[in-house]
Chains A and B, each alone.
Chain A
Amino acid sequence: MPDIRRSVVTQLLLGYGLLVATSIAVVSLVFYFGTMGVLQQNVDRRLIYIANREIRFNMDHPGALAREIDRQLGDSINSDTEIFQLLSSRGQRIVGNLDTWPSLPDRGPVTAHVLRYGRPALARLLRISLLDGDTLIVGWELSEQELIGRLVLRSLAAGALISLLLIFGGALFFRHLIEHPIAVMRRTAHEIEAGDLSRRIPVASSDEFGRLAMDINRMLDRIEQLMDGVLHVSNAIAHDLRTPLSRIRSRLEEAVRSGDGAGSPGEAAVAAIGEIDELILVFEKLLQIAQAESGVHANAFEPVDIRRVARDMADLYDASAEAAGVQLRAVDGGPVLALGDRNLIANALASLIDNAIKYSGPDSTVEVRAVHAGEHVFLEVLDDGPGIPEAELPRVTTRFYRIDQSRNLPGNGLGLSIVSAIASLHGGRLALLNTGRGLLARIVLPHQPAG
């Protein structure tokens, strides 16, 4: 048995057990005393009836009561329970079936021990003073009532015992019912603590525990996903940053040893600065993603005309498109409003346009448009390039992820992660769809009604 203070389940069951046991005790007592009271009232009513009958008889036939009592004692009706005792004014027995009797009060029946026909018995006795100075005691032996009382007590005791057994058994059953799922959860928690983050709580039912388990599992999924992200980033950092760092290092080392025609220290420093600037860019992007993901911007959002942003970004990239032989168009129209940060939205769109120009190749068309669709606004970049292989689609927004065939193109694999992070910061998302004629990159944002 675990320490009571440390188990809510035990406390709960113990508490309820006590409550039920007390209830049974109270009900039993009330039932017992109620039954006994009713039985006693019946006896009392009978005694009063007999007493009244004898008084009337005594009034109608003065001096004949002794004979009448004697007759009644001998008539073998109720002869094993009835008690009559007629006493003279001096307290001597005239007629009756009691050998000893206690002194009795003037009013009301009492219960007392008597000796009847030489046999001890418990009886209910009523004393009446007659007009002629004699005293009559009428009574009723309570053997039957005693028997009933004992029977009731025995039944109640048996019932209570069965109830207590049920309580105890039920408590054990309920404890198992509650402790089992908790134990399963704790076991899973320990396994996860020990390092196996892939463990999940088995969901065996749809009750509160089942729902809690599902909630915890969803939370674990999210944590695992984030952990994977972190792991992926640290792997990628180890991978992608080590290369430029070792390049910088070897170049500087060479410059320090110098003199052997490997380039002047000045050139090496310039090259190193260039490489370091690249690294700073990568870190800035990572920081930007982290910032967007933590939602630090959201308090400074204001209505942004995203169609204007679409026009401006198309305008910014027109020269790049021209140089790449790509036709870049922004679809015109009235304002389309979204609540957000103008620069972040522009940054996201710029990334998408940049990708579209870079990947769709010469003689393709890239279309930028902002459309209002019910509760949402779409900021879309549509190209007629090769698209993204379906299998790669879910992964391209992962940090540092690069599709194999794009590894030779410039980029750090952070662009779409940032777009995705910016979209979710605005309560939206980034959707990438292969349309059949090219890729459709769509930033979905909540619509901001004008005014």
Chain B
Amino acid sequence: MRCLVVEDEPNTSRYLCNGLHTAGFVAVPCGNAVEAQQLVDASAWDVVILDRLLPGSTDGMALLERMRARGDRTPVLMLSALGSTDERVHGLRCGADDYLVKPFSLDELLARVEALTRRRPTGNGETRLQVADLQLDLRSQRVTRNGCPILLQPREFRLLEYLMRHEGQVVTRSMLLESVWEYHFDPQTNVIDVQISRLRNKVDKEFDVALIHTVRGVGYRLSAVAGDRGA
């Protein structure tokens, strides 16, 4: 996996590259928009991490717009110190696939980068998701584990669907709030944890093998195999 890190602040850049490297990415740092433009043009990338504010005449937003105008669909995660909803919406409208506000934790960033690179197109005729003995039927909205039906409320169903679509990946609390409830704010309470724990009661409690794992300080991961990180 090749990742281009466009960030002008050297400390942040080094921090990002180290983190990405540890997570198994080949991270290439780049400090200005002109160079970034050349690098984007020269080769294909699996993901681009783009700082919104860059020195010089072209900023991150302009670079992104140019990429999209040329039909470049490379996933872009935009970083910004500007955290208001407007800024976020603007960034996403300009073609960013995700938007992360500084300061962020490395885990949050890695979880999102992973989600971007392993993104599968949804709704392409796929009607059934399966992880180990857990089955989720999108058409009939039914969930079974080891053949036993599990009764879920509609939102729990969507929560489980999201986890299963990101099987093996770490998903953070804010990713869940954004994707399952479609709200973007930081609830700063354990509201998502409580939701997960209720889901876990229904999905894992009666069975020997737990599928929903807590990744400490980061979020959750649904996987047939336990382990600290699913990457």
Contact = CB atoms under 8 A, between A and B. Distances in A.
A285 B186 CA distance: 9
A17 B199 CA distance: 89
B194 interface: yes
Interface in A273-298: 273-274, 277, 280-281, 284-285, 287-288, 291, 296-297
A243 to B, nearest CB: 18
Given A270-B217, A316-B181, A281 B188 contact: yes
A323 B89 contact: no
A447 interface: no
Contact of A341 (B85, B105, B194): B85
Nearest to B216: A270
A354 B191 contact: yes
A366 B85 CA distance: 29
Contact of A354 (B177, B182, B185, B187): B187
B226 to A, nearest CB: 20
Contacts of A350: 185, 187, 189, 191
Interface centre among B190, B194, B198 (most CB of A within 10 A): B194
Nearest to A283: B103
B83 A284 contact: yes
Nearest to B86: A300
A260 to B, nearest CB: 26
A373 B195 CA distance: 33
A347 B185 contact: yes
Nearest to A344: B85
Contact of A322 (B103, B189, B198): B198
Interface string A114-138: 0000000000000000000000000
A299 B85 CA distance: 11
Contact of B84 (A270, A285, A291, A318): A291
Interface string A305-332: 0000000100111111011000000000
B contacts with A: majority SS = loop
Interface string B161-196: 000000000000000010001111111111100110
B141 interface: no
A contacts with B: majority SS = helix
B83 to A, nearest CB: 7
A175 interface: no
Given A291-B84, A344-B85, A317 B155 contact: no
A76 interface: no
A346 interface: yes
Contacts, number: 73
Interface string A331-351: 000000000011110110010
Contacts of B191: 316-317, 319-320, 350, 354
A386 B113 CA distance: 46
Contacts of B58: none
Given A319-B195, A319-B197, A350-B191, A312 B83 contact: no
B198 A296 contact: no
Contacts of A344: 85, 185
B83 A346 contact: no
Interface string B144-155: 000000000101
Nearest to A415: B188
A264 to B, nearest CB: 16
Contact of A312 (B105, B181, B189, B198): B181
A291 B182 CA distance: 22
B105 A277 contact: yes
Given A285-B188, A312-B181, A343 B85 contact: yes
Nearest to B185: A347
B84 A346 contact: no
A229 to B, nearest CB: 21
Contacts of A323: 194, 197-198
A320 B190 contact: yes
B228 to A, nearest CB: 13
Given A315-B181, A343-B184, A297 B84 contact: yes
A449 to B, nearest CB: 23
Interface string B25-50: 00000000000000000000000000
Nearest to B154: A315
B101 to A, nearest CB: 8
A342 B183 CA distance: 8
Contacts of B89: 300
Contact of A297 (B86, B186, B195, B197): B86
A319 B201 CA distance: 11
A299 B217 contact: no
A343 B185 contact: yes
Interface of A: 270, 273-274, 277, 280-281, 284-285, 287-288, 291, 296-297, 299-300, 312, 315-320, 322-323, 341-344, 346-347, 350, 354
17 contacts: A277-B105, A280-B103, A284-B186, A287-B83, A297-B84, A297-B85, A315-B155, A316-B187, A319-B195, A320-B190, A341-B85, A343-B85, A344-B85, A350-B185, A350-B189, A354-B187, A354-B191
Given A319-B198, A343-B183, 19 more contacts: A277-B105, A281-B188, A284-B186, A285-B188, A296-B84, A297-B85, A297-B86, A315-B155, A316-B177, A316-B181, A318-B155, A319-B195, A320-B190, A320-B195, A322-B198, A341-B85, A346-B183, A350-B191, A354-B187
Interface of B: 83-86, 89, 103, 105, 153, 155, 177, 181-191, 194-195, 197-198, 217
Listed from nearest, the 7 A-B pairs whose CB atoms lie closest are A347-B185, A300-B86, A319-B198, A319-B194, A319-B195, A320-B194, A346-B183
